[in-house]
Chains A and B, each alone.
Chain A
Amino acid sequence: MTEQRAIEGCKKGDRISQKHLFDAYADNMLLLCMRYVRVVPDAEEVMLNGFYKFLKSIDTFVYNGSGSVGAWMKKIMVNECLMFLRKKKELRIADETYAEQVSTNDDPLMKMNAAEILKLVMQLPTGYRTVFNLYAIEGYSHKEIAAELSITEGTSKSQLSKARVMLQKELQKTGVYDEK
């Protein structure tokens, strides 16, 4: 079953089509949620809520080739994660203006595999982790992050910079990153 036919089937309420899409994206979406929520049962709950909303609002979705389903689903999942963090009152970021510049030309994260990166990211505090996830992995701009989290762009930059510093320190401990 192609992705397009699965989408059409989902619009008709076909369970097999829904199961097909779930099987295709569930793993990836769970890991995405875990990057934000950190606790596995919570991440699973958020992922299921995201899928539920995706399937309920499938009528408004317009298929634009491969990747469009994943992108749309990711957006829903990210919103669900942010909503979950807001409900838990974990997403409190104080306004900051100072942004320490950290070089990203020679990013040591690129030397690590995805599983190691995930573990490192999950160790970050909620504010740093959220901004890092949104900027470095999801590809949001600072402006979009500021609008999404109700913070200033300066705060977003500062949070990202501090997240990078913290990641470098962790990498130094593991010996992956050598400061010159």
Chain B
Amino acid sequence: MKSNNEQGLQKKMDTLDTLSAGFVFDKDGAWDKLQSKLEAKPRRKVLPIYWMSAAACLLVMFLVFNNRGAREEHTVATPVIVIQPHKDATGPVATVVTRQSDIAVHVPYVHITKKGTSLKKEGVVATQYKDIPLIKEEVQQTAIPIPDSHPQRMAVAKKKWKVVHINEVVTEEENIKTIVKENRMAGIKFLPRYRNDIPAQETEDNSVSKNLLQFKLN
């Protein structure tokens, strides 16, 4: 229960106005402020759409580049070039030429610089070419399956021949000379045959082929 003094104090304070309290109060100015506050439309809460879209873009970019980095290294199938000898060829012919190339494409990665973003693909292509050997004892060839998109094309191993190098022919010069002498004495025209299954062809200068001129037979 409040005392009489406190109730009296309450009433006393209610009767006080600003002027008697010694304060200057601009009532009209305060009313104008209140009126403008009342007339102000309530502000709608704006969703941070720009920030959300920017964040989504960044997320997508991150996912895309991250996915690229995770890709496995691709190996390009080695192309095989098959050169078939002409059916009338007489000299040492490389029947099958394989052009081996190991192509390794490394994963491109991205350099992000401070100013902007630049994409720089770095790929290393290593190619090895193997020269065609003039003499091959045996060419190891296997059937190379072509992808399903070209089922008809298939590299087929050809028949293998023993090819004698020109230097090896020179080492047997004496033997050849003997053969030539015997042939001359017998009135047989010299036609060296290196391979039994291919018929020798006579040229204008009585040599079998251009390579045979180097044999020093005369």
Contact = CB atoms under 8 A, between A and B. Distances in A.
A110 B5 contact: yes
Q: Size class of A's contact patch?
A: 20 to 34
Given A115-B21, A136-B9, A22 B31 contact: yes
A109 B19 CA distance: 21
B31 A104 contact: no
B71 to A, nearest CB: 57
Nearest to A74: B14
Nearest to B22: A115
Interface in A65-118: 104-105, 107, 109-110, 113-115, 117-118
Interface stretch (A26-34, A151-159, A168-176): A26-34
A146 to B, nearest CB: 17
A118 B20 CA distance: 11
* B interface, size bucket: 20 to 34
A125 interface: no
B44 to A, nearest CB: 17
A18 interface: yes
A29 to B, nearest CB: 10
Contacts of A18: 38
B38 A55 contact: yes
- 5 nearest CB pairs, A to B: A114-B16, A107-B5, A27-B17, A115-B21, A27-B18
27 contacts: A23-B27, A23-B31, A26-B30, A26-B31, A27-B19, A27-B25, A31-B13, A31-B16, A35-B13, A40-B23, A44-B30, A52-B34, A104-B3, A105-B3, A105-B5, A109-B9, A110-B5, A110-B8, A113-B12, A114-B12, A114-B15, A114-B20, A117-B12, A118-B13, A137-B10, A137-B13, A139-B10
A15 interface: yes
A30 B18 contact: yes
Interface in B29-56: 30-31, 33-35, 37-38
